[in-house]
């Protein structure tokens, strides 16, 4: 059974995944540790993508695919037509720089889907990335979380603009759906409801 939850007009249900996620091939290069280096602060301890990995990534000739950001940028000439046909999405990891995508692809809404990979569920950068994609860069299509996606983060993901959630394979997505609605009247404005509570309700004098 599918472990993909998708929101449709605010209603969540389990759906079959019609996208194929394309991974980078494994690398022999060791991770770059940049502890203390200010310029590369956000890369601390996280893997960087090599040219060889990008070149060696196998891109299926047909079907709807979600490409790693680095491949999408470096090899975009290979699938220009497929972008126009809505067959190409992009994924990025939480430490990757969103502006690399937005500078390369001026109109994000030509992409039917953008996905964010969260390696550890406790990595809250994913929430800011979702927020920026929606509010800063005006992305309107499917925004998906995948990786270490667990039930107790779904509510925050939803509020941060994510509309689909590929729950980690060893957990029940069916049960997780309930947590999308843990709270009915949130205090602060966020992506799904920009108005804070004091602008939505008359809370009396």
Partner 1 sequence: MYKYDEIDQQIVDERVTQYRDQTRRYLAGELSEDEFRPLRLQNGLYIQRQAPMLRIAVPYGMLSSKQLRKLGDISKKYDKGYGHFSTRQNLQLNWPKLEDVPEILADLATVEMHAIQTSGNCIRNITTDQFVGVAPDEVIDPRAIAEIMRQWSTFHPEFALLPRKFKIAVSGTKNDRALVQAHDIGLEFYRDSNNQVAIKVWVGGGLGRTPILGTVIREHLEWQHALTYCEAVIRVYNLHGRRDNIYKARIKILVKALGIDEFRQQVEAEWAHLKDTDNTITEAELARVAQHFDAMPYENVPAHDASFDAAIASNPAFAAWVKRCVHAHKQAGYRAVTLSLKPHGQAPGDISSEQMWAVADLADEYSFGELRSSHEQNLILADVKLSDLFALWEKARANGLASPNIGLLTDIICCPGGDFCSLANAKSIPIAKAIQMQFDNLDYLHDIGDIELNISGCMNACGHHHVGHIGILGVDKDGSEWYQVTIGGKQGNDASIGTVIGPSFSADEMPSVVQKLIEVYIQERTPEERFIDTVRRLGVAPFKAHVYAKNEVVA
Contacts to partner 1 by CB under 8 A: 35-36, 38, 41-42, 44-46, 121-125, 127-129, 131, 135-136, 150, 152-153, 155-160, 179, 182-191, 194-199, 201, 203-205
CB of 118 to partner 1, least distance (A): 10
CB-wise, 26 or 205, nearer to partner 1? 205
Nearer to partner 1 among residue 17 and residue 119 (C-beta): 119
The string of DSSP letters for 136-194 reads IS---SEEEEEES--GGGHHHHHHTT--EEE--TTS-HHHHGGGGGS-SS-SS--SSS-
Name which of 60 and 124 has its Cβ closer to partner 1.
Answer: 124
User: Of 75 and 125, which has the nearer Cβ to partner 1?
Assistant: 125
| C-beta of 56 vs 152, nearer to partner 1 | 152
Least distance in angstroms from the C-beta of 158 to partner 1: 8
Q: How far is the CB of 138 from partner 1 (least distance, A)?
A: 12
Q: What is the Cα–Cα distance from 129 to 67, expressed in whole angstroms?
A: 17
> Are 101 and 90 contacting, i.e. CB atoms less than 8 angstroms apart?
yes
CB closer to partner 1 out of 32 and 80: 32
Q: How far is the CB of 137 from partner 1 (least distance, A)?
A: 11
Q: Which residues contact 154 (CB under 8 A, 6 or more apart)?
A: 5, 165, 176, 177, 179, 180
What contacts 24+ positions apart, CB below 8 Å, involve 164-168?
Answer: 164/4, 164/5, 164/6, 164/7, 165/4, 165/5, 165/6, 166/3, 166/4, 166/5, 166/17, 167/3, 167/4, 167/5, 168/3
Task: Kindly state the smallest distance separating residue 3's Cβ from partner 1, in Å.
Answer: 15
Contacts of 201 (CB under 8 A, 6+ apart): 185
Minimum CB distance to partner 1, residue 26 (Å): 21
């Amino acid at each position: 059974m599918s472990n993909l939850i998708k929101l449709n007009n605010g209603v969540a249900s389990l759906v079959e995944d019609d996208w194929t996620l394309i991974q980078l091939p494994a690398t022999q290069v060791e991770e770059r540790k940049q502890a203390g280096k200010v310029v590369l602060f956000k890369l601390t301890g996280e893997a960087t993508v090599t040219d060889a990995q990008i070149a060696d990534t196998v891109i299926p000739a047909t079907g709807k695919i979600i490409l790693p950001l680095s491949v999408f940028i470096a090899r975009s000439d290979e699938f220009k037509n497929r972008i126009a046909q809505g067959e190409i999405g992009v994924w990025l990891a939480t430490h990757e720089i969103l502006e690399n995508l937005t500078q390369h692809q001026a109109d994000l809404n030509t992409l039917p889907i953008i996905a964010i990979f969260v390696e550890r569920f406790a990595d809250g950068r994913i929430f800011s990335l979702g927020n920026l994609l929606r509010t800063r860069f005006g992305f309107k299509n499917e925004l998906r979380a995948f990786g270490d996606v667990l039930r107790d983060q779904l509510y925050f993901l939803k509020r941060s603009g994510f509309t689909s959630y590929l729950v980690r394979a060893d957990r029940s997505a069916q049960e997780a759906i309930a947590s999308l609605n843990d709270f009915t009247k949130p205090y602060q404005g966020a992506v799904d409801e920009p108005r804070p509570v004091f602008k939505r309700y008359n809370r009396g004098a």
